[in-house]
């Protein structure tokens, strides 16, 4: 079994399904990946300590958004549960809590609907017990062995995320703060500058505007940790195979997404 890559993606709100360009980008991305045995999703929308894993059996989705048209609340994603993966996570991170009532939130199912529409891959969602980059990076390092078992680890956030400063439409030009932060991120990731990324609040331009609260950037650190050995190789053309897969903007927010390995 070949080692699975690790992903960090910008997941979009429920209307992502109406964006033909973005949905095609996600579908083509997954089509080029080895089919995973299971998927471990780390979404910006589940913060809980201690670290927790969600339901290992089908339960209703978490429609954690408000004010959208009714049809967005009727979306289904009936992927199989992943009890074996949950047990593996508990072994790698002792003290992991199990929440059998917690379904997939929109940070998990919105991109999965586009990437794996047949819902035939077992999915497990995991919480972020903290937003501290160093601790999330270490969690990713502990999870790295799952890659050798066919598990696709996905950090789901948004490369810039300030809803108060969103553009007027999906094709709105990005404001300077969004473009500058996105450019810095792609250069830091491509250059393997993990120290700068972990200290992004001090090192990145416009960090406080791009992320007034950091939960949407935080899943990147789990992904980076899960690829720590590859990231140490350095260079976007190095053995780690780090690359930007999706770029561009949505309502002025950077939808940059990365693949590691």
Report whether 115 contacts 29 (CB < 8 A).
yes
- The share of the chain scoring above pLDDT 90, in percent, equals 87
In whole angstroms, what is the distance from residue 177 CA to residue 241 CA? 28
Q: For residue 133, is it within any domain?
A: yes
How many domains are there within the chain?
Answer: 1
C-alpha torsion sign, points 90, 93, 94, 99: negative
The phi and psi torsions of 173 (rounded to 5 degrees) equal -65, 145
Give, in order, the Cα–Cα distances in Å from 32 to each of 26, 51, 136: 10, 31, 27
CA angle 245, 223, 249 (to 5 degrees): 40
Q: For residue 161, is it within any domain?
A: yes
The three-class DSSP label of residue 159 is coil
The string of pLDDT tens digits covering residues 76-100 is 999 999 999 999 999 999 999 999 9
Mean pLDDT of the chain: 94
pLDDT band at 12 (very low <50, low <70, confident <90, very high): confident
Residue 35 has pLDDT above 60, yes or no: yes
Residue 260: per-residue pLDDT: 98
Residue 66: per-residue pLDDT: 85
The string of pLDDT tens digits covering residues 129-174 is 999 999 999 999 999 999 999 999 999 999 999 988 888 888 999 9
CB-based burial label for 243 (10 Å; 0-12, 13-18, 19+) = middle
Global pTM? Answer: 0.95
Q: For residue 57, is it within any domain?
A: yes
Supply the range of the domain harboring residue 148: 6-260
Give the residue-averaged pLDDT of 251-260: 97
Q: For residue 1, is it within any domain?
A: no
Residue 232: per-residue pLDDT: 52
Residue 97: per-residue pLDDT: 98
Residue 236: per-residue pLDDT: 42
C-alpha torsion sign, points 182, 186, 187, 189: positive
Residue 27 has pLDDT above 90, yes or no: yes
Give the residue-averaged pLDDT of 97-124: 97
- The share of the chain scoring above pLDDT 70, in percent, equals 96
Q: For residue 125, is it within any domain?
A: yes
List, as one string, the DSSP characters of 83-94. HHHHHHHHHHST
- Going by the DSSP 8-state scheme, the letter that residue 246 receives in this structure is E
The string of pLDDT tens digits covering residues 195-246 is 999 999 999 999 999 999 999 999 999 999 999 986 554 444 443 579 999 9
In whole angstroms, what is the distance from residue 106 CA to residue 72 CA? 10
Give, in order, the Cα–Cα distances in Å from 207 to each of 45, 78, 118, 251: 20, 37, 37, 18
Across 89-207, where does the E strand assignment appear? 97-98, 123-128, 151-157
CATH number at residue 239: 3.40.830.10
Pairing verdict, β 151-157 and 6-10:
parallel
């Amino acid at each position: 079994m070949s080692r699975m890559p690790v992903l960090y993606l910008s997941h979009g709100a429920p209307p992502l399904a109406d964006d033909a360009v973005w949905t095609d980008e996600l579908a083509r991305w997954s089509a080029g990946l080895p089919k995973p045995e299971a998927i471990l999703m780390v979404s910006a929308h589940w913060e809980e300590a201690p670290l927790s894993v969600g339901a290992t059996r089908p339960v209703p989705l978490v429609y954690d958004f408000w004010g959208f048209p009714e049809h967005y609340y009727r979306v289904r994603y009936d992927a199989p549960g992943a009890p074996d993966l949950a047990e593996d996570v508990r072994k790698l991170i002792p003290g992991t809590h199990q929440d059998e009532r917690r379904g997939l939130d929109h940070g998990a199912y919105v991109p999965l609907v586009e990437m794996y529409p047949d819902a035939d891959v077992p999915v497990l969602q995991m919480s972020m017990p903290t937003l501290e980059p160093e601790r999330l990076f270490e969690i990713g390092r502990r999870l790295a062995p799952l890659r050798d078992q066919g598990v696709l680890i996905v950090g789901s956030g948004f490369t810039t995320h300030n809803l108060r400063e969103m553009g007027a439409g999906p094709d709105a030009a990005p404001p300077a703060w969004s473009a500058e932060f996105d450019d810095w991120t792609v250069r830091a990731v491509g250059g393997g500058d993990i120290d700068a990324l972990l200290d992004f609040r001090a090192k990145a331009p416009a960090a406080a505007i791009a992320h007034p609260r950091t939960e949407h950037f935080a899943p990147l650190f789990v992904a980076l940790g899960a690829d720590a050995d590859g990231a140490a190789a350095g260079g976007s053309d190095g053995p780690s195979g780090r690359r930007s897969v999706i770029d561009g903007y949505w309502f002025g927010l950077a939808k940059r997404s990365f693949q590691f390995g």
